[in-house]
Amino acid sequence: MGFNFLTSTKACTKCGKKKPLEAFSNRRDLLDGYRNDCRICEKAQHHAYYLRHQEEIKARVGEYNREHKKEIADYGRQYRADRGEELLAKQRPELG
């Protein structure tokens, strides 16, 4: 297991599979510069955390949105004003 400097592969500590470095997220504080778990296992871990803490997360986000309602609305208005033509082009592509 671990990092192989010759083949540029690394074994995931969660699933144990040997994968190319592109399958790992960056982490500068580690010797090889990559996380020890692959992106797939990392995503599964984040999803499991969300499922375990779903109610707390939703409550926290809802509270933030209520407290910052005006700022969020202002940002949305400004975003649409700055990118109006671009957004319309995405919604209604040219025919032909």
Interval 28-59: pLDDT, tens: 999 889 999 999 999 999 999 999 999 999 99
Span 14-19, average pLDDT: 96
Q: Which CATH number fits domain 3-47: 2.60.40.1930, 2.140.10.10, 3.30.365.10, 3.30.60.130?
A: 3.30.60.130
Residue ranges per domain, the chain?
3-47, 54-91
d(CA 96, CA 86): 19
d(CA 81, CA 96): 28
Name the pLDDT band for 91 (thresholds 50, 70, 90). Answer: confident
Span 46-75, average pLDDT: 98
Residue 40 or residue 80, greater confidence: 40
**Global pTM exceeds 0.85:** no
